[in-house]
Structure 1
Amino acid sequence: MNSNKTIAFVGLGSMGLPMAQNLVKAGHSVRGFDMRTEAMDTLAAAGGVRAESVQVACRGADILVLMVVNADQARTVLIDAGALAALPEGAHVCLMATCPPDAVKRLSEEVAADGKVLVDAPVSGGVVGAKAGTLTIMVGAPKPSYDAVASVLRTMGDKLYHCGPEQGQGAVVKAINQLLCGVHLAAAGEALALGQKAGVDTATLLEIVSGSAASSWMLKDRGSRMLMEEPPVTSAVDIFVKDLGIALAAGRSVNMGLPLAAAAHQVFLSESGSGNGLADDSQVIAAYRRLNGIS
């Protein structure tokens, strides 16, 4: 039996485009749509189909992959742009953006009311993981729906987890992942800024703590960029403003206080509010430098 699918893919950004290209390489028929025509042209050059609209991409598709910025954009694509109406009965909508769990639940209800199924499937791994097909994908959906899309998701990520039978449970796991990443990153910035204020050699400090029990993945990945004057941007400060906000919303939804996440969120907000929201997220260290008069 032919396992290849017809896939509508909306959101061909820095992660979405390589994800869609990996689907094409696996033999799926991929119809891509993005507001940037150059992104669609790149997908077409790789063997995908350049859709002239969201509705054209979705007609007859087995699966719609949404790799958009947030839940509001997802709803705009589904409702306002007509994706939901264009999809055939029983089609699956894979929402792969990082969204608040409550928003995912509301979207899933709207999708279900139209005879389709939303699969909550946020990802972690960044552009590097998207290109390599090594993303971590956290799925919240009934088991039959998970099984229906699992082979397609495995083309984009080699670490696929069924986090629970309800839409929104994948979003909760992603929010917790981002909570830890944000807190670890803010703590790394605080530690290295303290070293700088105290006058120790920060490169030596970084080498020592990176190889000790004090280390974290975020410290080892971002620490060297914290010490650069103008590091390349791999993920922006504003991403953690958004994602830690989602983590805090997840906490509120279950009436749970998250004081460390809140403190980290304030540090990222401070850096964004200083005009550096588009800077590399390692530059959260600059918020500590300003706070403590470190030049």
Structure 2
Amino acid sequence: MTKFGFIGLGAMGKHMARHLVQRGLPVTVFDSNAAAVEDLVRGGAARGASVRDVAEKAEVVMVCLPTPDIVEQVAIGEGGIAGASAVKVFVDHSTTGPTVARKVAAALAVHGIQALDAPLAGGVAGAEAGTLTVMVAGDTGAFALARPALETYGRNVSHLGEQPGLGQTLKLVNNMIAGSALVTAAEAVLFGVKAGIPAHTILQVLSGSATARGFAVETLLADKVLSRRFDFGFRMDLMRKDMRLALSEAEAVGAPMFASAVVKQFFDAAVADGEGSNDMTRVVHQIEKLAGTTIGSAGGPA
């Protein structure tokens, strides 16, 4: 049986690694947070002493990390995965952008390691339920070796092609649409609130509309914002990072992103206001302040 490794047991990674254990797949885990490792070990995972130790024990090593810099350090930095004896396939579930994915793939190939960029959609809830969308790019044989693990936490696992970075590109497309839809939907709903329609009425009607319904309306606004819980499970600073990556990569290939550039500024403003570590849905506060009212059960001053 293929031996797996999992590095990065944060908000999503801890659930993904748990699915591997529950499916009976042998997995060695590591994270800088010792408590997160201990929790998985109690559940049946093997303990990795370091990044390199995991790669010395596992043929397929998956990572789920917060930033491109950390991914590069773990994959090809000193004491990282490159050069370890056991690892054959490196699977990156982080969002790094296609440029970093290609750089990492080329550097690992020198060591005989195949790299798959395999970013995710579905958030923390999807990771916990095992219903993530996994967007994979890279060698077909490497994908086949990793697939049994990916399918433990991915309901929709797609191989986009062998060119490194295609998965990262699609993830940036996904997040740019999600962030833009949230901002524009919030703006439109606040127009309705200011005109005198209760927010809950607006969202109830829109959820039944064939033209306006969708994830931003039904999940982000009607559930996470209307309730004022703001608990979608994805940090503001990470969404902003993904938007910055999307704009940079789009410019590199000559794709226009005029509207998306404006949307990013709302996330810039939210981070500047100290919201970086809070949930991405709190970007709605920026629009509420401009409107002078809120999206809430009864509306009211912002």
Query: Same fold judged by TM-score > 0.5?
Result: yes
Name stretches of at least 5 consecutive residues in structure 2 with no aligned partner.
294-300
CA distance in 1, matches of 2:159, 2:87: 20
Q: Which residue of 2 aligns with 1:264?
A: 263
Q: Which residue of 2 aligns with 1:70?
A: 67
CA distance in 1, matches of 2:173, 2:228: 31
CA distance in 1, matches of 2:229, 2:122: 23
Superposed, 1:59-138 pairs within 5 Å as: 59-85=56-82, 87-88=84-85, 91-138=88-135
- The amino acid across from 1:99 in the alignment is T
Q: Which residue of 2 aligns with 1:57?
A: 54
CA distance in 2, matches of 1:108, 1:39: 28
Aligned Cα root-mean-square deviation (Å): 1.7
Q: Which residue of 2 aligns with 1:238?
A: 237
Q: Which residue of 2 aligns with 1:26?
A: 23
Q: Does 1:215 align with 2:213?
A: yes
CA deviation profile, 1:235-264 (whole Å, cap 9, x unmatched): 232232112112212211201111121121
- The amino acid across from 1:136 in the alignment is T
Name stretches of at least 5 consecutive residues in structure 1 with no aligned partner.
none
Of 123, 148, 151 in structure 1, the residue corresponding to residue 145 of structure 2 is: 148
Q: Contact 1:62 / 1:91 at 8 angstroms: preserved in 2?
A: yes
- Deviation of 1:17 (Å): 0.8
1:175 is paired with a residue of what secondary structure?
helix
Q: Does 1:284 align with 2:283?
A: yes
2:157 is paired with a residue of what secondary structure?
strand
Q: Which residue of 1 aligns with 2:249?
A: 250
- Deviation of 1:152 (Å): 1.9
Change (3 A) 1:287 1:59: same
CA distance in 2, matches of 1:101, 1:257: 17
1:260 is paired with a residue of what secondary structure?
helix
Change (3 A) 1:7 1:122: same
Q: Contact 2:172 / 2:245 at 8 angstroms: preserved in 1?
A: yes
CA distance in 1, matches of 2:132, 2:194: 38
CA deviation profile, 1:244-287 (whole Å, cap 9, x unmatched): 11221221120111112112111111122122223322222211
- The amino acid across from 1:151 in the alignment is P
- Report the count of equivalent residues: 292
CA distance in 2, matches of 1:277, 1:70: 14
Change (3 A) 1:131 1:163: same
Change (3 A) 1:273 1:250: same
CA distance in 2, matches of 1:248, 1:94: 24
Change (3 A) 1:174 1:56: same
- Deviation of 1:72 (Å): 0.9
Q: Contact 2:114 / 2:139 at 8 angstroms: preserved in 1?
A: no
CA distance in 2, matches of 1:289, 1:257: 28
2:95 is paired with a residue of what secondary structure?
coil
Q: Does 1:48 align with 2:40?
A: no
CA distance in 2, matches of 1:236, 1:204: 28
- Deviation of 1:94 (Å): 0.3
Change (3 A) 1:81 1:45: farther
CA deviation profile, 1:18-40 (whole Å, cap 9, x unmatched): 11111112222211111111100
Percent of pairs with identical residues: 29
1:214 is paired with a residue of what secondary structure?
coil
Q: Contact 2:57 / 2:86 at 8 angstroms: preserved in 1?
A: no
Q: Contact 1:67 / 1:96 at 8 angstroms: preserved in 2?
A: yes
1:137 is paired with a residue of what secondary structure?
strand
CA deviation profile, 1:179-211 (whole Å, cap 9, x unmatched): 111111111211122223223211111111121
Structure 1 runs of 4+ aligned residues shifted over 6 Å read none
TM-score (norm 1): 0.93
